[in-house]
Structure 1
């Protein structure tokens, strides 16, 4: 089971989280220091580097159906690695537009006393909403890998459209309001490493990967930019071949990169070349598009005590457990993800242990205590009665079946405010269903309240607790 697997090696996981905290803090510290160096070097250099950063407007592509901003003083930032092949000789393959193999959400609390970095596996199977492209056309909503959203938005090479489609997908599936985004392009690593004269890595096993164009012996060695580019891309021929393993190697590389940059601060030429490579590789929303706002963000991260900087991966399990023929993707685990996204949306700190305990409490809830009214929001006659029988067989109390006032595009569980826990418990058995608070008075039956399950065409079917 996913929960059991996650806790199988707690000591190793603890060391990894501690190492990753230091990587981010060192990287933020290096960025802040480099910005100060640029500022002190003169107005010409500062404005030259400041002008390198690309600003991409996204607000006009995000639509009107965005989640409410429940914590305006906090910062929730999308960080994406843009895997574009533009300006390459084709040796890394040919792709249309842009891709992203690295997606993270960084949440910095309003009081700046804690922060959470949430990694999103690129193979997460999610609903991708309709996205507006830079040519005025729109994509169709569908299910797919989460990183497909970046590729769809960026199919014409527009970074703003790529980021906007990813933001829409994140907001649609998490309920989080994304405030800003930062994207680092595919060639950024290569140019940064060459500017510093190489970066040291210490692989524990030899690497020989034709796809990533990298051959390395085991042990510590200095990589040039071309080798570093292969190192951060390699996946299938190292370790267990997972995306999680690649993320770990990328984090280790960023630590080495930050240390090398700090060591080379005494070389004006190296520092200029490095800063030039960093800033030319960055695309952000207009609010972050400058050295000063990036310095402010780095300073906010630096001010967070290391013990309050939490790194999580979206709780997930293989989609193969639900769809046997799909061996390539993962799905997000409920109610864990619902609890996590809700906490971040309301700017509430939630540790991994607290998340696991809260999810266990919901999953242990007795279905016999949960009253459900089932409404058919599809065009399939008798659908509510079928689902009612399914719920009753699982122990839920079904109080009523009826047709919804109008068809609905997606399955929704609505609940009185006092029954939020019960709604999450039901949602844990119906993956992908939306959960919303009902209007005052709705769902307040004689039995002390009930949930309303409105069936959409995407009704997933009741599954056993995971």
Structure 2
């Protein structure tokens, strides 16, 4: 612990303050320091869990990039414990919490790109041996709900080490840091930033939760309700809830960045966030959090994506889809993006082994031109998730400035709109969408793709059970649809693809 009589040098104080911004924006946690008194206060706020429960046999660290950087994996867990007054926000009786929210954040070796992988709480997994309060280790069990790992040993504040062991065994990825946030901390953080903008897909009036359809700013209890509620949204599934959580995190990152990394904004957030955290010992102080956060602050919202693990229902539980999920873990172990690219070279082909990467682009200049043109994708096909899927396909073809906009009114044929002076670019884009209609759009500053039913039909299996026809054959990525269909760019429109079912 820091000596109360000592004061960090000015450079240290600045580093801690900058670190807060990066941490809060990327990890939804933070730390800051403007003097020894506040630094000590934050240190007292932070709780750690014992490293004794982390498995001794672990995956290796990720590959070191040519520039010397190494990828970092952070496991973000939302605990639903009712201990320590959390029942006032979550309802119910006090008891051991589950990890009903789990996001594996993979920060690429260049530390300028990241992807958050959502793991459904009901996913059936193997929970490996985990340490019990007695010091003994449990027996590994198959076909267990993912969120049950957090309850092994019935520790009052949960067992994050067991959840970390489970994720490492499942993915083959080494988890560098684990962070747990509870109800009170989450609500306090949203209050500290004066609310977060969200989109409610429909009116909700059930289980004591009341939310009105449309764009709005939520904080405290309402923010917690928005990310926790299942009933009243879509089919009431955990899958739909994860879509809202991904959108919420994106909006929180945007909010913190828009307010600026200054003490007025950061200190209340630092105080609230550190009170909410339980972290591994390697992040167990304000200065450690700040130093780590320094390595993350250059990640822009446009360089973050979210993906839900490839999944399917198995009764009332969720099963992982193989080999799609194996491809996902393999991409991350190789530090490659969801489209198979090197994160350090976003315009590169999808993958050296992808046959599509050897195919010529529609024209020699298509990819370079595409990377400079703003492109908005709207889904008008009435098929859920196609906006994000199309965005991933287009990024694999070199279109980098992509935003997924809100769903549009139903169309049978895909429409490509173009701004003044962009007709040639629209013609190039149309080669990737055979049969698409082209139309001048004076209100646009780039290109717009409104996906019609023809796009959705092109992604469905043929009547004979063969490969999909249409657009997928002109936008091949070599990446399974279980990944592309479950991807959401962090800079998507808040109202895009929120409901499942």
TM-score, length-scaled by structure 2: 0.56
Deviations 1:162-186 (A, max 9, x none): 1111111112222222121111112
1:326-382 Cα distance to aligned partner (Å, 9 max, x none):
x21121122222232233224344427959x9799xxxxxxxxxxxxxxxxxxxxxx
Tell me the distance in 2 between the aligned counterparts of 1:264 and 1:83. Answer: 29
Residue of structure 1 aligned with 2:36, choices 43, 60, 71: 43
- Cα separation, partners in 2 of 1:269 and 1:179, compared to 1, 3 Å: closer
Unaligned runs of 5+ residues in structure 1 are 1-25, 320-326, 361-427, 429-466
Contact 1:55 1:285 in 2 (8 A): yes
Which structure: greater helix fraction? 1
Q: 1:175–1:341: 8 Å Cα contact kept in structure 2? A: yes
User: In the aligned structure 1, how far is the partner of 2:210 from the partner of 2:227?
Assistant: 13
- Cα gap change, 1:339/1:209 in structure 2, threshold over 3 Å: closer, same or farther? same
Q: Deviations over 1:298-322 (max 9, x none)?
A: 4433424655534322112222xxx
Residue 340 of structure 1 pairs with residue 333 of structure 2: no
Uncovered stretches (5+) of structure 2, i.e. residues with no partner = 1-20, 65-69, 342-349, 357-479, 481-501
Measure, in 2, the Cα distance between the counterparts of 1:270 and 1:133: 41
Structure 2 residue aligned with 1:146: 146
RMSD: 3.6
Q: What pairs with 1:264-303 in structure 2 (closer than 5 Å)?
A: 272-303=267-298
Residue 124 of structure 1, CA deviation: 1.1
Contact preservation (8 Å) 2:23, 2:29: no
Map 1:41-440 → 2, pairs under 5 A: 41-58=34-51, 60-71=52-63, 73-88=70-85, 89=87, 92-94=91-93, 96-142=95-141, 143-153=143-153, 155-159=154-158, 162-210=159-207, 213-258=208-253, 272-304=267-299, 308-319=303-314, 327-351=315-339
Deviation, 1:295, is 3.3
Q: Does the CA contact (< 8 Å) of 2:200 and 2:213 recur in 1?
A: yes
User: Deviation at 1:80?
Assistant: 0.8
Residues 220 and 57 of structure 1: CA distance in aligned 2, closer, same or farther (over 3 Å): same
Instruction: Tell me by how many angstroms 1:224 deviates.
Output: 4.7
Any idea what SS the aligned residue of 1:147 has? Answer: helix
Asked if the contact 2:121/2:145 (under 8 Å) is kept, the reply is: yes
1:113-166 deviations in Å (ceiling 9; x for gaps):
54332211212111111211233243332221111111225x22145xx11111
C-alpha separation in 2, matches of 1:146 and 1:272:
35
Q: Is the 8 A contact 2:25 2:252 kept in 1?
A: no
Q: Deviations over 1:385-436 (max 9, x none)?
A: xxxxxxxxxxxxxxxxxxxxxxxxxxxxxxxxxxxxxxxxxxx9xxxxxxxx
Deviation at 1:262, TM superposition (A): 5.9
Change (3 A) 1:189 1:307: closer
The verdict on how the C-alpha distance between 1:349 and 1:223 changes in structure 2, with shifts beyond 3 A counting, is: closer
- Residues 33 and 44 of structure 1: CA distance in aligned 2, closer, same or farther (over 3 Å): farther
Q: 1:344 to 1:207 in 2, by over 3 A?
A: same
- Calculate the TM-score normalised by the size of structure 1: 0.60
Partners of 1:245 and 1:124 in 2: CA distance: 14
**Aligned-partner SS, 1:330:** strand
Deviation at 1:229, TM superposition (A): 2.2
* 1: CA distance, partners of 2:320 / 2:172: 14
CA contact (8 A) 2:171 2:329 kept: yes
Q: Deviations over 1:92-125 (max 9, x none)?
A: 1125312111111122233335433221121211
For 1:98 and 1:250, how far apart are their aligned partners in 2?
A: 19
Go from structure 1 to structure 2 and tell me whether the alpha carbon gap of 1:34 and 1:130 turns closer, same or farther (over 3 Å shift): closer
- TM-superposed CA distance for 1:195, in Å, is 3.9
Q: Distance in 2 between matches of 1:175 and 1:141?
A: 17
